[in-house]
A and B are shown apart, each in its own frame.
Chain A
Amino acid sequence: MASRKKKITYEYSSDGVKRSILRNARSAKVAPGWAKQIADRVAKEVDEWIADKEIVTEADLRKKIIKELETLSPDIAFAYKNHDKII
C-alpha cells in the first residue's frame, strides 16, 4: 500500500506571517525599520485575502506572501521562495 503524507491543519496567524518575514528580512540584511513596515503591510494584505476563505493550503499562502513581497522587497521574496532550494 502506498504511504500517504499526513495532512496537518492549523489556524492562520498574522503574527506568524510577520515573524517569518522579519526572520527572512534579517537574513537579507534589510534595515529593521523598513523590514517591520514590510511585515505589517504584507500581513495586512494577507489578512484581507484570507478573511473570506475557510481553508487555504500552505502553498497558496506562501504564493500570496511572495507576491506581496516581490513588489516591496525582491530580496526577502527571493529568500522566502528559495530557502529550501539552496542545497
Chain B
Amino acid sequence: MSDITSIATIILAAITQASLQLGLGGLILLYHNSMGKHRRKTTRYLAKNYILGSCAITFLMVCTFCFLIGNFFGGSLSAEWLVVSIGIFAASGSVMWFLYYRKGKKTTELWLPKAFTNFIRKKARNTNDNVEAFSLGLLSSFAEIPFSLAIYFVVANCILNMHGWLQIVAALSYTILTVVPLLALKLKMKTGKSAIEAQKWRVKNKAFSKAFSGSSFMLLAIFVLAFWVM
C-alpha cells in the first residue's frame, strides 16, 4: 500500500477520533469549574496540561497498537482483522447517529454509565493542579476507547506500512490532529469567549456533531474497505 493511502487513512481516522465529544466536554467542564475558582493564568495552565494528557495517551495508544501489530499480527493486519475493524466502524457510526447523546433538548450528556460521568465531573470540579489536569486529560481520552479502539488498530497498521522516519511523523501528526478541537477551544477561550458560550455552541450544533461523527465513522469504514481490503 502506498504512503499516500496510509496518510489519507491516518488523516480520516484522526478527524473521526477528533469528532468524539468526551474529551471536549471534559475540557469545557474543566474550564467552567476552574474559571469559577482560579485565576485565569491557573486555568490556562490546567487546560494546557489537560490537552497534554490527551496527547500523551493518544500517542501511547498508537505506539502500543504498533507494538501489538508488529509482534502479534506479523507486522500488518490481515484482511479478516480489517473487516472486523470495518464492522466496528459501521457499528460505531450507527451508535453515533442514534445513541451517542442522551435525549433532552439543552443537554450534551453522552450515553455513558452515570457513575463514570459523575466520576469525571467530580474530578473536573476538584482539579486544582497541573498533574490532576494532566490525568483528567488522560482519563477522558482513554474513556473514548470503545469508539477509538478500532481506529487505533487501523492507524497503527497504516503507520507500520509506512517507510522509516515517516512512521514517527505520522504518529505525531495523528496525535496532534486528534486534539485540534481542544486546541481550537483553548484558542477561543484565549480570545475572550467563555466556557458557557462554548457549551451553548455545542448544544446548538448537537445534531451536526452527531451527524459529523457518525458520517466520519461510515466514511472511514468505506475507505478502509476500498483501499485496504479490496
Name A's B-contacting residues (CB within 8 A): 23-24, 26-29, 75, 78-79, 81-87
Contacts and interface: CB of A to CB of B under 8 A. Distances in A.
Q: Which 9 A-B pairs have the closest CB atoms?
A: A23-B36, A87-B25, A85-B107, A29-B194, A28-B196, A27-B35, A27-B36, A27-B32, A86-B29
A26 B35 contact: yes
Contact of A27 (B22, B107, B108, B195): B195
B121 interface: yes
B112 interface: yes
A21 B161 CA distance: 55
A86 B199 contact: yes
Contacts of A85: 104, 106-109
Given A27-B31, A28-B194, A86 B36 contact: no
Q: Which of A29, A81, A87 is most buried by chain B, counting CB atoms within 10 A of its CB?
A: A87
Interface string B109-138: 110100001001100000000000000000
B196 A87 contact: no
B74 interface: no
Contacts of A81: 106
Given A27-B196, A75-B196, A86 B37 contact: no
A5 to B, nearest CB: 13
B29 A23 contact: no
Q: Which of A24, A28, A81 is most buried by chain B, counting CB atoms within 10 A of its CB?
A: A28
Interface of B: 21-22, 25-26, 28-29, 31-33, 35-37, 104, 106-110, 112, 117, 120-121, 192-197, 199-200, 203
Given A23-B36, A27-B36, A82-B199, 19 more contacts: A26-B36, A27-B33, A28-B196, A29-B35, A75-B194, A75-B196, A78-B196, A82-B107, A83-B32, A85-B107, A85-B109, A86-B29, A86-B121, A86-B199, A87-B22, A87-B29, A87-B108, A87-B117, A87-B121
Nearest to A29: B194
Nearest to B109: A85
Contacts of B21: 87
B192 A29 contact: yes
Nearest to B202: A86
A45 to B, nearest CB: 22
Contacts of B112: 87
A28 B26 CA distance: 17
A81 to B, nearest CB: 8
Nearest to B34: A27
A85 B192 CA distance: 23
Given A28-B194, A29-B194, A86-B108, A23 B25 contact: no
Contacts of A78: 196, 199-200
